[in-house]
Amino acid sequence: MSRDPASGDALLVLADATVFEGEAVGAYPAGGLVTGELVFNTVMSGYQEVITDPSYAGQIVAFTYPHIGNYGVAPADGESSRPHCRGIVVRDLVARRSNWRSVEDLGTYLARHGVPGITGVDTRRLTRHVREAGSMGAAFGPVPEAALLAAARAEPGTDGRDLVAGVTTTAPYRCGQGPFKVVAYDFGVKWSMLSHLASLATVDVVPASTPADEVLARQPDGVFLSNGPGDPAALGYAVDAISALLGKVAVFGICMGHQLLATALGASTFKLAFGHHGGNHPVRRLATGTVEITSHNHSYAVAEDSLGGTAISHVDLNDGVVEGIRAPGQRAFGVQYHPEAGPGPHDAWYLFEEFRALMAGTADVGGGGGRA
């Protein structure tokens, strides 16, 4: 029996026909519903950073922490100039913010940017369901259940789709004034990555499709491969460019950048059942044996058995997923997680320092078990 939500109410329907009740908040597109791949994120603070992270393009983000919006929105906390996720699912969208840094309520911000939300949802049930059933298409809005189910089922998902093209910069731009020269591939780069790089180098941020020779023409000390949305396997052009850069310049990749680097080194990627999206994942740094608490946002991962000669430098302690690789001969390294934080812990800031040392030639990337 299809439910028809009452005024103000909304439904969230997954592609497997699981239905959740809630209330509509934010701004809905014409047609009154939104679709996307549903993922959950377990951070307790940092919703603004998540919502503005370009890596969430194409996805609906469900927050496991119930109160979202407590401290409003602050201009300095954005990871890009606008929200990128398709919509948000929360247990309680907080109406009144309180924090000296904030300038706007989250609800107002979402409405201003045309982002829909659904509040009042049993997000724990949703999380448990996705944990068991895996990420899947979803749709929500103040429209009948049948329409939402059809939309959720029609949602193409992210496999094989190039979502980077929609978020990368259209033209190169420059930021930072550090002593080195870095070319940063923008696959959907987060501002906190750029701010770390900017303290090391003058950074030329270039579109995802920029060929290797154009990058080399800028005479960089290092090339940075950013995070980005979707399936790395759909970005053959980027892999080609990276392959052409390897060995010629220091390379540091994060998240999508790490996956593309691995692919260029001959490895393959696969999709995790429900991904890693949170700020509390323990990752072992194999070089020292110590554990760092890290920020994660990835639905895909590098297959360990495909790595060949590439060394593993970091491993997720929860599920053993490869979280970092090193190719010493190529002066390249990458991490799957987010050392720049934004949001999340600062435990892995040292990786930017390692990138600096690599560019300076004072250290190589080391192997998995060796000193970094």
Q: Which residues of this chain interact with another protein, rule CB under 8 A?
A: 6, 20-21, 40, 42-46, 48-49, 64-67, 70-71, 74, 76-77, 91-92, 94-102, 122-125, 127-128, 131, 278-282, 284, 289-291, 293, 317-318, 341-346
86 or 277: CB nearest another protein? 277
177 or 290: CB nearest another protein? 290
Q: Work out the number of other CB atoms within 10 angstroms of the CB of residue 132.
A: 9
Which stretch of DSSP H or E encloses residue 216? helix 212-217
Find the shortest distance in angstroms from Cβ 105 to another protein.
11
Phi and psi at residue 147, in whole multiples of 5°? -65, -40
Tokens of 218: 């800028």
Find the shortest distance in angstroms from Cβ 96 to another protein.
4
Find the shortest distance in angstroms from Cβ 42 to another protein.
4
Which residue in 196, 281, 338, 354 is the catalytic one?
338
112 or 346: CB nearest another protein? 346
Which residue in 196, 255, 314, 354 is the catalytic one?
255
7 or 170: CB nearest another protein? 7
70 or 209: CB nearest another protein? 70
Find the shortest distance in angstroms from Cβ 291 to another protein.
5
Q: Work out the number of other CB atoms within 10 angstroms of the CB of residue 236.
A: 12
DSSP state of 312: E
What's the Cα-to-Cα distance from 156 to each of 152, 161, 321, rounded to whole Å?
A: 9, 9, 26
Distance of CA 171 to the CA centre of its chain: 22
Asked whether the CA dihedral 15, 20, 26, 31 is positive or negative, the reply is: positive
What's the Cα-to-Cα distance from 49 to each of 56, 124, 147, 149, 332, rounded to whole Å?
A: 11, 21, 31, 29, 28
Find the shortest distance in angstroms from Cβ 210 to another protein.
31
Distance CA 37, CA 162 (A): 14
Find the shortest distance in angstroms from Cβ 244 to another protein.
37
Distance CA 276, CA 319 (A): 10
340 is catalytic: yes
Find the shortest distance in angstroms from Cβ 343 to another protein.
4
Find the shortest distance in angstroms from Cβ 20 to another protein.
7
323 is catalytic: no
Which residue in 37, 79, 340, 354 is the catalytic one?
340
Query: Residue 155, CB half-sphere, CA atoms under 13 Å: how many?
Result: 28
Residue closest to 298 by CA, chosen among 133, 53, 74, 89: 53
Tokens of 76: 């300095």
| Angle of helix 191-200 versus helix 350-360 axis, rounded to 10 | 40
Query: Residue 265, CB half-sphere, CA atoms under 13 Å: how many?
Result: 31
20 or 187: CB nearest another protein? 20
154 or 291: CB nearest another protein? 291
Instruction: Identify whether the C-beta of residue 68 lies closer than 8 Å to the C-beta of residue 44.
Output: no
Asked whether the CA dihedral 233, 154, 43, 197 is positive or negative, the reply is: positive
78 or 232: CB nearest another protein? 78
Instruction: Please give the positions annotated as active site.
Output: 255, 338, 340
